[in-house]
Amino acid sequence: MAIQKRRKALEDSDLSNEKAKWKGRLVSEFRALTMKIRNNSPENDPNLDISLFFVLVGVPGVTVYTLFRAYILVEDIIAFRALPADAYSTVDWWAFAPHIG
């Protein structure tokens, strides 16, 4: 019975060591990836680091905002086609100010 307990404890410690190695490798790869994203200068100059929040939230946010603004601009230009012909006629402004003439 005692041998079985020791064998089980040894197997559990081997599994926990393997999980710890895997977790440590995963964490180190994640850190390397974030550092690569934050600083892509050729010499990895630490003065050129960018905030990870800006990289993960700011850049996609600005990109989406720009795309939406471009979409609205294109839709506004396309909407000119649907205007009636009267929209392009010249306005007689003197008709709106009869007291001046």
What are the 10-residue block averages of pLDDT along the chain, 101 residues in total? Answer: 66 65 83 82 80 86 97 95 88 77 53
* Dihedral angle sign, alpha carbons of residues 56, 62, 66, 69: positive
* Dihedral angle sign, alpha carbons of residues 24, 30, 33, 35: negative
Structure tokens at 41: 């200068």
Does this model's pTM top 0.85? My answer is: no
pLDDT at res. 66: 98
Contacts of 38 (CB under 8 A, 6+ apart): 49, 50, 51, 52, 55
pLDDT at res. 55: 83
pLDDT at res. 39: 80
pLDDT at res. 94: 80
pLDDT at res. 43: 83
DSSP 91: P
pLDDT at res. 12: 62
pLDDT at res. 7: 65
